[in-house]
Amino acid sequence: MKRHIVSIIFLCVICLVGCKIEEPHGNNKDGFQENKVEVSLNSGEVEYPKSKEEEYPVNGVKFYFDEGCTAYRNGEYEAAVKALKMSVLMDGKKEYITQSYTVLGHCMTELGDMENAEVYYKKALETGNDTAMCYNNLGLYYRKCNDYKKAEENYLQAIEADKTYSEALSSLGVLYALIGRTEESVALLEQAIEYSTKPRPEYDANLAYSYAAMGQIEKARESLAIAREKGYAEEKCEIVSACIDEFEEEFKKELIPTPNLTEIPQQKKGIVIAIDPGHQAK
């Protein structure tokens, strides 16, 4: 029962930790290209400002793509959908098609339209670009829908497309942690850390959980310390730390010998010892 509770806590952790649906690559730190034209999207209306064409020497496809990504980051999902659909319609050269479908999938997920989210993630995959990323996003989508079998299938496809792809290695590692395949989880998360090209403290935090689930408490605390050093948010560290403490207590209890109640002890003079050998102590 306690392990079930710890697993529930871990589900909360991974919602904070990472394994986010992956965003397309770009030029800035958020993974999107910088938007050079300021246009309000609060109303959901997007118009191409021809008067600013000199300031924005690119085609309308990129403009709508950038506007859609900006709206998505700002939580304006309906406005983002409108802009990104325009980008798709105008993208005759298919320059931004994979990214547009990907972010459309993100928007639909945020809007709770899971059916169309799946459609867009599959369309992104069908473009044949960034295959590993697209499979990983589909895997994350299915995990969000609690379809762990399909999630695993897509993660494995992502890893097959790129065996050093840290995002998919981490995603599969988290999935295996959730379903109790902790040894495999540890191996995958260690690989994710090894192949990652930038510090990813959430990988170390998830590894800490998997170590703890195996009973390797010291290694778990070491991994959590590394996550902290890499800048992992303290409130998230506290959640992972609580999981480690829970596992430590559980494993300690498992090490305490259980009395053999089927053997009735000798009765001492003047003392009546009543033991039901058919029931174990709880």
Tokens representing 199 are 């510090």
pLDDT at 59: 64
Residue environment code for 17-29, b if the CB has 16+ CB neighbours within 10 A, otherwise e: bbbebbbbeeeee
More confident residue, 82 or 11: 82
pLDDT at 6: 52
DSSP code of residue 151: H
Task: List C-alpha distances in Å: 92 to 53, 56, 63, 89, 95.
Answer: 20, 19, 14, 8, 8
pLDDT at 160: 97
pTM of the predicted model, to two decimals? 0.73
Residue 193 to residue 69: CA distance in whole angstroms? 28
pLDDT at 43: 30
CB 205 within 8 A of CB 193: no
Tell me what percent of the chain is helix, strand and coil, each rounded to the nearest 5.
Answer: 65, 0, 35
Residue 277 to residue 265: CA distance in whole angstroms? 11
Q: What is the pLDDT of residues 172-219, one digit of tens each?
A: 999 999 999 999 999 999 999 999 999 999 999 999 999 999 999 999
Biggest CA-to-CA distance, the chain: 104
Residue 41 to residue 82: CA distance in whole angstroms? 10
